[in-house]
Structure 1
Amino acid sequence: MIAMPRRRGQEAAYQQVAQGLRAQIDAGQLLPGMPLPTEPQLEQQFGVSRITVRRAVQILRDEGRVETRHGSGSYVTPPRSRRRLSMQRYADPRPPEAGATIDREFDEVDAEGDVAAALQVQDGTLLLRRRMVQRLNHSPQKISTSYLLADMVAGTPLADPAYEPWEAWTIAQLADLGVKVTAVEESVLGRRPTAEEMQTLTLQGSDPVQSITRRMLAGDRPVEAAVDIVVPADRFFLDYRIDLP
């Protein structure tokens, strides 16, 4: 049995439950990655209603102390390591990090809308769509959806998901086909995640994402478009260097 915190003035019961759980997290009684007790357990421990328990857990979610996983329950949020994405990653392809894995799904689609415009092709042009979820030590890091011209990559390893993850990334892969990427364009937008992105990246409702739109060019010809690359905003720095004439 966990004792309810002492009431301070007119502090609501759900705030007292939230404070009690905070105290357990701060004291190390609930460690990062551990599940919270179930709602019935919390009702019994604190002597409150189900609604009160849910409001208390929502407070901790809003604070980033707790994350709720669909179909699994609520867990103490592990520390968020922050990583850097710099333009150097295009100039210096390197092997995947130790512990990195990729969930991938490839299919052929017709170009339309923003994707057709980015690749400068007519609507209906056949494209290879590559959707990937990159994980590091089982933790989801990034969702990317990119498009290549189907007639350029048909019958090559780029069109075969069994080859992912490669020892190098898209620029080196294209170079193997004799396509030299000479420029990369990116634009970055901060936004709220979709419901699917929240579930895939294990985000809280208040967690923003950075959405990166990318285009690779060989001379004046677009050869790849990523619409889009999604990363949790609090886990990544985007580093850029601009060389002035």
Structure 2
Amino acid sequence: MEPQHLRIAGDLMEKIDEGDYAPGAQLPTEEELMREWGTSRNTVRRALQELANRGRIDTKQGSGSTVRRYRPTLHLASPAPAGSDAERYEAYINRLREEEGKVPTERLEVGREPAAGVLAGLLKLDPDNPRAFVVIRRCDRVIGPQLWQRQESYYPGFIAEGTALELPTDIPGGTKDVIAALGYPQTGAWDVIGAKMPSLKDSARFGIGPGVPLLVHERVAYSGTTPIRFTRTTMPADRHKLFYAEGDIDPGVLRTITDVSVYER
């Protein structure tokens, strides 16, 4: 027989999923749940902890438990009409600034590292060649005190060395235009997206609560058969949703789905 705290948690989860308790709504108090289920305070607290561990509620001592409210960023996981991923992020943070007073910032770091391991294989660089290296552009997007998203792009040294890609400044036209001007127009790419539970360091870096995985989006772009960029975007799953488009999509679609959350129905 299923333990009682899991039955209580399952019942509350079903009511959250069906909309009986909307995002931001207060759950019944511990006393109310104890009376409803004829059980102990410890059992009720274990049930609520189960929901907190799954990232579905927030619990504060003395304030009770509320259904978590999600406001995810739209991350374009494929090329799409009506603007770039950066522009969609800009629109999102402008809304947060107006509604919640949160101040967004971006931190850009540029560096080099030797080509080694899986990265060398993806970019077809010889790890035994001491002159083989990659240029790294790391952009951290921060909202308030929290790291919201980290994007790291790696460029073969033979392409990036001595170019604007090595400068720690924003590139108005985008790095794709810089690479194309160097004789390597992007002709194709592949993507892999997965999820993993964060390490302790990741949890602290992103300010991740219990039960929240990280989404990791990896892309290798090519010019013909030459790999020209490997990009890894890391983002907490409760703050991002991925958008893929195929075919002739009206630009208004992006505006329509911006406020759609998989957590709300």
TM-score > 0.5 by shorter chain: yes
SS at structure 1 position matched to 2:70: coil
| Equivalence for 1:232 | 236
Deviation at 1:221, TM superposition (A): 0.6
- Please, which of 66, 78, 102 is the counterpart of residue 58 of structure 2? 66
How far apart are the structure 1 equivalents of 2:209 and 2:69?
Answer: 13
**Deviation by residue 1:99-125 (Cα, 9 ceiling, x = unmatched):** 463222222111111100000010151
| Equivalence for 1:151 | 158
Contact 1:101 1:138 in 2 (8 A): no
| Equivalence for 1:141 | 148
Distance 1:176 1:144, change over 3 A: same
Deviation at 1:179, TM superposition (A): 2.8
SS at structure 1 position matched to 2:222: strand
Distance 1:59 1:233, change over 3 A: closer
| Equivalence for 1:36 | none
Structure 2 residue 122 is matched with structure 1 residue 118: yes
| Equivalence for 1:11 | 39
Deviating more after overlay: 214-223 vs 195-204: 195-204
Provide the aligned length of Structure 1 versus Structure 2: 196
How far apart are the structure 2 equivalents of 1:224 and 1:150?
Answer: 11
Deviation at 1:64, TM superposition (A): 3.0
Percent pairwise identity: 18
What value does the CA root-mean-square deviation take over the aligned residues?
3.6
| Greater relative CO (CA pairs within 8 A, separation 6+) | 2
Q: TM-score, normalised by structure 1?
A: 0.63
Q: Which runs of 5+ in 2 are unaligned?
A: 1-28, 61-65, 94-103, 249-265
Structure 2 residue 158 is matched with structure 1 residue 132: no
Distance 1:62 1:187, change over 3 A: closer
How far apart are the structure 2 equivalents of 1:128 and 1:202?
Answer: 28
**Deviation by residue 1:64-105 (Cα, 9 ceiling, x = unmatched):** 32389xxxxxx9955333524242259965764254632222
Deviation at 1:15, TM superposition (A): 5.2
Distance 1:196 1:119, change over 3 A: same
Q: TM-score, normalised by structure 2?
A: 0.59
Describe how 1:131-210 pairs up with structure 2 within 5 A: 131-135=138-142, 140-161=147-168, 163-164=169-170, 166-210=171-215
| Equivalence for 2:227 | 222
How far apart are the structure 2 equivalents of 1:56 and 1:118?
Answer: 44
Structure 2 residue 79 is matched with structure 1 residue 88: yes
SS at structure 1 position matched to 2:209: coil
Q: Which runs of 5+ in 1 are unaligned?
A: 19-51, 69-74
Deviating more after overlay: 6-15 vs 124-133: 6-15
